[in-house]
Structure 1
Amino acid sequence: MYSSLIRKSALGLAVSLALSACVNLAPDYATPVAPTAASWPQGPAYKPAVQGTDRTVVADIGWREFFTDERLRKLIELSLANNRDLRVAALNIEKARALYQIQRADLLPTVRAVAGETASRTAATLNSSGQPQISHTYNVGVGFSSYELDFFGRVQNLKDAALQNFLATDEAQRSAQIALIAEVANTYLNLAADRERLQLSKDTYKSRQESHALTQRTFELGAASGLTLQQSLSTVEAARRDVAIYVQQVAVDENALTVLIGTQLPANLLPPELSANVSALRDLPAGVPSEVLQLRPDIRRAEHSLQAANANIGAARAAFFPSITLTASAGYASNALDALFNSGSGIWSFAPQISLPIFDYGRRSANLDVAKTDRDIALAQYDKAIQVAFREVADALAVRGTIDEALDAQRTVVDANTESLKLSEARLRSGIDSYLGVLDAQRSLYASQLVLIASRLSRQTNLVTLYKVLGGGVVEGKS
């Protein structure tokens, strides 16, 4: 009897589940058209597109392959293992996964096993025998309560929304990984550049001290004026000031790198001069189609959020239709524990319920309006993410298209200023020119050398930026 009842209940439940999968009130979803041009900008700032280049060339470059400097690789490993922001992103994924599991569980009934005893005492005045009576009732059974038959897709859409939120969180973690890798690389390169600037300022300070010592002797011999001596001293002090500034900046860079890697910065992983890292980063092709934006994790995250908002509309629409819930149980009951499973002690209950709010003063309509507005907000955020990403890539390509020429020109400037200083010193020794010409030549050379370091840094960080804005390729643990 009870097995037949259970089979019938199971069959009814299966039919209900099948029916519930037939209706979905969420709007049909299609990936929005990107609000950007179909190709990257063209013009004098951009290199010609490389024929035959496709997205897979960039996407398949993992960070270990892209960053060939072994020190930098080890620092990135430390950051991926210890960075606290990345740890929070990973924990957010675990939270989103758990929330999705909770929401998905609502699609199926929660079956519970129940066993209990009820004891009661009847007063003597209420008993025909005139004696108080104590009675016991024992029961055991299984059943489910308040299981919603999802005819109109409310629970299914809530589950879909939870899934999309989980996927969005997963993409957020991948985006955080790529951003962290790029930040570590840029901080490492800035530290290398500042260490080179520090060394240049130290060398300049030393040479100017030597030059000032000569000027001091010539002044004491009456061959140099007081003006020349003071001008020489000012260049020495300016160099000393720069040494102090770059000592400070190197310390700041090291502190920033320490926070990024999440642990103490090993001394053996400090970068050498930037000039030693010119070939430490691979070049990247520029001729990639704008469709690569659809593969960036931040844009995929925005689209998952849009899909979640779309599913929430379906859940809000389902609230306008009846809600059907089932409560059922089957088991045994007896007033004697040893007779609990005897013949005739079986019990069952089945309580379907349908409900539909009639007057809610616009609550359901307002909830639907909120869901639609959330979808429109998510769509606007998705469009903005596409536009920002397009600009980031276009800006990086503009730098890439011009930085080599600027770098080559700056090398020529340094060479010319080096030669000018030699000529100025020769003219001073020959008595043709004053010391002022040497001072100007020194300042020009020093300034041009600093600009050259900045130009080399700009080229290196541009490659890191391209790696980041094109989606970051293969991230460890996500390949």
Structure 2
Amino acid sequence: MITLRTWFTTTLFAFSVSACSLIPEYQQPENPSPLPARQDASTDLNATDIGWRDFYQDATLQNLIDQSLSNNRNLQATALMVQQLREQYRIRRAEQLPMLDGEGGYTRQRFSPGANEFGQSGIFEQYSVGVGIAAWEIDFFGRLESLKQAALSDYLAQEATLKSTQLTLVAEVADAYLSWQASLAQLKLSESTREAREESYALITRRYEGGLSSELALRQAETALHEARIAVAQYQQQANQNFTLLELLVGQPLDQDDYPVNWQTTGLLRSLPDNLASDSLLQRPDVQAAELSIQANNASIGAARAAFFPRISLTSSLGLAADTPGGLLEGSNRTWQIAPQFNIPLLDWGVNEANLEIAELQKELSVVRYQEVIQVAFKEVYDELQARETLEDQLTAQQDLTEATARSLELAEKRFDAGVDSYLEVLDAQRSLIDAELAEIATNLARLRNQLTLYKALGGGLLAETISP
């Protein structure tokens, strides 16, 4: 007679002898694009250790980043995918354990006279209660363990993708805000130019009406005025589009009146160290996600290998059965059942081999993609480091050009007032000055973009506060 202890002992023994892993030993792929080693690692922090609140030093920008982390729909969707894969991992982990179900039933049946040896009809009743395990797979060859490991790696990879999405979002909000502020500065400059040309056009009109200026000068001033009006409309459109993009990234409507023009080129961003750790790229979340995908596919190979071996499952139950409800209280009415089953693949026409080949190819593909992610990350960092070396020189030259064109305009206006040159020289000098001033704003924006893009490329933007060295 089987007892409850014996039944549980048999079940636990089956569980204890399971899970022989067929997962290949994992080896980290070679880094195809290492950065130069840092000369003195004690002097500077990695970008990953610098919190975005310390890197982006403008209070308004910090507030916008805070809002985006709470409201951005793309970030929320990625977070939901993380939760979904976490629950999938829980399911895979639970599949390794026997599912214990409570059972109960009542049967009432009439027998005909010809259905029994006594030739009598009758009504049969039976009540039953118990507990049971239905078709629990005993993981002798690690199929379920492999699927669990793959699900865990998928979950962790998606979690790393969430972090990568946050890095991108922080950088995009900063870029959109700075671009919007720069376009507002260019719009303000264009409006000032339009106002100045309106005054010039009015002055030339009066001189023309007094016979002191030619119609050619009048039409040239009129043309310059229309050019300025067009520029104002263009920069207004650009500012509107940048603000709309900022609203999309933040995830909620913004009031432009709460964000006045505040274009400044210093004190916005924290300087990044010149020395870079050779392993900094490996800390990027997208690189980590790519490596976790390799591990997930590596575990899937174990599950594909296990499909070649028998699959063993166990169904068992223990309970009481009687013809009256009161009889369920009698120990002599115990019932039990143990039904092990196995399934051996004999002829599958190459399906298991094809599944194993697919799993191995999937791993090879994930390795290639991992190395590609590293190469892209290296290019992003390398491009921004090279740009940083030239943007400062470019900005200095641009500032010198602005000063030179301002002086040229001053001289052209004096020569026109003295009647030495035509108004065309004044217009040329005005165009050169406005182009130089607009280009200076654009160069300052490019320099700021270089800093924030390098910060993001090095994995910065995940932490809110800087880690103390």
In which range does the TM-score fall when normalised by the shorter chain?
A: over 0.9
* Counterpart mapping for 1:290-439 below 5 A: 290-439=278-427
TM-score with structure 1 setting the length: 0.93
Distance 1:335 1:374 in 2: 58
Is 1:196 the equivalent of 2:185?
yes
Question: How far is 1:81 from its partner?
Answer: 1.1
1:114 maps to which residue? Answer: 103
Question: How far is 1:139 from its partner?
Answer: 1.3
The answer for unaligned runs of 5 or more in structure 1 is 41-48
Deviation digits for residues 109-148 of structure 1 (CA, Å, limit 9, x no counterpart)? 1111111111111135546777642211111111212112
Match of 1:68 among 52, 57, 61: 57
Question: How far is 1:341 from its partner?
Answer: 2.5
Distance 1:53 1:424 in 2: 56
Question: How far is 1:75 from its partner?
Answer: 1.1
Tell me which amino acid in the other structure corresponds to 1:36.
S
Deviation digits for residues 232-254 of structure 1 (CA, Å, limit 9, x no counterpart)? 11111100111111111111112
In terms of mean alpha carbon deviation, does 134-143 or 448-457 score higher? Answer: 134-143
Tell me which amino acid in the other structure corresponds to 1:371.
A
Seen in structure 2, the aligned counterparts of structure 1 residues 324 and 160 have a Cα distance that, compared at 3 Å, is same
| Contact 2:52 2:465 (8 Å CA) reproduced | no
| Contact 2:167 2:462 (8 Å CA) reproduced | no
Match of 1:450 among 415, 426, 438: 438
Seen in structure 2, the aligned counterparts of structure 1 residues 423 and 50 have a Cα distance that, compared at 3 Å, is farther
* Counterpart mapping for 1:7-18 below 5 A: 7-13=8-14, 16-17=15-16
Deviation digits for residues 19-51 of structure 1 (CA, Å, limit 9, x no counterpart)? 334x321111111111114429xxxxxxxx774
Question: How far is 1:343 from its partner?
Answer: 3.0
| Contact 1:189 1:457 (8 Å CA) reproduced | yes
Seen in structure 2, the aligned counterparts of structure 1 residues 162 and 91 have a Cα distance that, compared at 3 Å, is same
The answer for unaligned runs of 5 or more in structure 2 is none
Seq. identity, %: 40
Distance 1:50 1:205 in 2: 53
Distance 2:78 2:133 in 1: 37
Tell me which amino acid in the other structure corresponds to 1:420.
S
2:3 maps to which residue? Answer: 2
Distance 1:370 1:268 in 2: 57
Deviation digits for residues 170-207 of structure 1 (CA, Å, limit 9, x no counterpart)? 11111111111111111101100110011000000011
Give the aligned CA root-mean-square deviation in angstroms: 2.1
SS of alignment partner, residue 312 of structure 2 = strand
| Contact 1:332 1:347 (8 Å CA) reproduced | yes
Tell me which amino acid in the other structure corresponds to 1:34.
N
* Counterpart mapping for 1:66-145 below 5 A: 66-124=55-113, 126=115, 132-145=121-134
| Contact 1:53 1:287 (8 Å CA) reproduced | no
Distance 1:333 1:286 in 2: 79
SS of alignment partner, residue 174 of structure 1 = helix
Match of 1:30 among 23, 27, 30: 27
Distance 1:80 1:57 in 2: 23
Match of 1:240 among 204, 217, 229: 229
TM-score with structure 2 setting the length: 0.94
Seen in structure 2, the aligned counterparts of structure 1 residues 31 and 347 have a Cα distance that, compared at 3 Å, is same
Tell me which amino acid in the other structure corresponds to 2:82.
I
Match of 1:217 among 189, 194, 206: 206
1:228 maps to which residue? Answer: 217
In terms of mean alpha carbon deviation, does 287-296 or 103-112 score higher? Answer: 287-296
Question: How far is 1:463 from its partner?
Answer: 1.4
The alignment covers a number of residue pairs equal to 466
Seen in structure 2, the aligned counterparts of structure 1 residues 291 and 82 have a Cα distance that, compared at 3 Å, is same
In terms of mean alpha carbon deviation, does 334-343 or 100-109 score higher? Answer: 334-343
Seen in structure 2, the aligned counterparts of structure 1 residues 440 and 478 have a Cα distance that, compared at 3 Å, is closer
Distance 1:70 1:129 in 2: 95
2:276 maps to which residue? Answer: 288
Distance 1:38 1:212 in 2: 58
SS of alignment partner, residue 46 of structure 2 = helix
In terms of mean alpha carbon deviation, does 286-295 or 377-386 score higher? Answer: 286-295
Deviation digits for residues 258-312 of structure 1 (CA, Å, limit 9, x no counterpart)? 111111103354252423x531111111321342111111111111111100100
